[in-house]
Every structure is written in structure tokens, then in C-alpha cells.
Amino acid sequence: MYREYEPPQTGAVRCVWTSSKVGVQRVVPDGCMDLIWNGERLHVAGPDTQAFLTEANGTTVGVRFQPGAAPGFFDIPAHAIANTRVPLDELWPKVRVHRLVDDLHEGLPGRKLLNAVYSAEPDGFADAVRKLVASNEIRGAADKLGITERHLHRKCLAKFGYGPKTLQRIMRFSSAMELVYAGKPFSDIAYEIGYSDQAHLSREVKALAGATLTKLVRDADLQEASMDDAAVRDATLYDAALHDAALHDAALHDAALRNATLDDAALRDAAIYDGTLTTRHVMTRP
């Protein structure tokens, strides 16, 4: 199962996520970089321009940064680690990483990862470019930002891992996939997001995700069904626990009644015993 949690203060962090899926997972481009803990090691996932297939084995926890926010925090240009996964100890001092790993082994990895990146700040340039992309104004972005086209391209490579046009393509794809997973008709998505038609949307999804729209939706439905099954199992276990607790309480109640009965019997026996002694004493009195 894969779940995302929005942090209380967003800023440079988009979400904290957990995944307990086993087997091959498909990670599609979204313009983001992630700090990931797989239970043994920490690594940084650079920005992707194509689908990335990874072998999952157990629970994985990650912090996903807003597009353009992570390079400044890790002090590395995004294009240097595009389409790659880099061990964190290649970017940070090993002592610092080992200390964080030891801390993560003690539990609450999501919270501790979030604490580890609390000092990350939003990037003003990246935020401005993202807004221009969202409003489909990337063509005149250099003029609006007061810089040359070459400077814009160079800064986009450093912040996002790719140039303005590729950034726009990936951000549009990411927005489209959110609507796909929300169940919106493909033709409506194509019109709303700015593709020429549904065929254009399908081609872009196949190129960037490495799979058809139908397959991605089917995989998402299977994951949703798995989550529902897990919820049913949890509810069943909860009901069973309540049932066991009720049986336990009933057993305690029965035991209390039995003890009370035994106590009453003991009192009667004691009374008879005392009475017998008394009677016997009276009977032997001269």
C-alpha cells in the first residue's frame, strides 16, 4: 500500500509518504526529489524524465520536496542526479548520516525524516517558475523573471533537473495523472490540462510513464482494492479483539460470581463451624 501525508507546515516539503508494497514499483516523473529510507539506508532520488522501476521489499518511507526545493537543501544541482538514486552519505558527511540512520532504526521514521529536513526552505525562483508553468506562461518566463533565456535554462537545470520546456511537459503530465487517478474521463482531462486531444494525452502518458493509461488505472484500482482488503482485515481484527475482550469480561464476571458464591459458602461453613463449636461447647457445659 502507498499513502501520502501532508505535513502540518508545507513550505519546501510536498508530503511524507509510506509504501509497504512488495515487488516491482513504477515511479513516474513528477518534477520532485525525495529523501528515502528503506529500513537500512538513506538515499536521494533525483528528478526523473521517464518511469523508474524499483524493487520494493518491505516498508519504505520518504519525504518528497516541492519541485526545485531540494537542490539547495542538499547543495547539489538537480541535473547532476537526474534519473538516478544517490546514497545520502555521498551528499552529506558520513557521521551526520550515520547518526540519522541510528535514530531512524529506533522508530517513527516518517516524523524523524521530516525533522531532518525541517530547515529546508522554499526556493523563490523555483516557486515563480512553477507558477508560470501552472498558468501556461512558460514561453515568456525569461522576460517575466527579468533574465535571459540562457540564464533561465541554466537555472532550471540546476533547480529542476531539466530545461523549461521539459519541466512544463512533466508538470502537465503530473497534473493529468492526478485527474486520471481521480477517475475523470480521459477526454475531459486532455481538454482541461491542455493536450490537443485524448490521443495526445495517451502518447505523453506512454512516453513518460512507460505504460498505457489503461494499465496505470488498472494498477491503481488493484492497489485501492488491496487497501480496502487491508481495511476490512483491520476491522475484522478489531471486531475479533472486541469479541475477545467481551468474552474476557464475561469470564471475569462469571469468575467473580463463582468467587462470591464460594465466599458465601465459606461464610455459611464458618457460621456452621462456629455454631457447631458453640453448640458442642454448650452441650459439654456441666
- CATH code (residue 120): 1.10.10.60
Domain count, the chain: 1
Q: Phi/psi at 69 (nearest 5 deg)?
A: -90, -30
Would residue 125 count as lying in a domain?
yes
The residue segments making up the domain with residue 190 are 2-211
The per-residue pLDDT for 76 is 95
Distance CA 40, CA 44 (A): 14
Would residue 252 count as lying in a domain?
no
User: What is the SS3 assignment for 16?
Assistant: strand
**184's grid cell:** 475523470
How confident is the model over 44-92, as pLDDT tens digits?
A: 999 999 998 888 778 899 999 999 999 999 999 999 999 999 999 999 9
Would residue 226 count as lying in a domain?
no
How confident is the model over 96-155, as pLDDT tens digits?
A: 999 999 999 888 888 888 888 888 888 899 999 988 888 777 778 888 899 999 999 999
Burial of 127 (0-12, 13-18, 19+ CB in 10 A): middle
* Residue 283, pLDDT above cutoff 80: no
Would residue 171 count as lying in a domain?
yes
Exposed e or buried b per residue across 180-208, where buried means at least 16 C-beta atoms within 10 angstroms of its C-beta: beeeeebeebbeebebeebeebbebbeeb
**129's grid cell:** 517558475
Q: Which of 52, 65, 83 is nearest to 10 (CA)?
A: 65
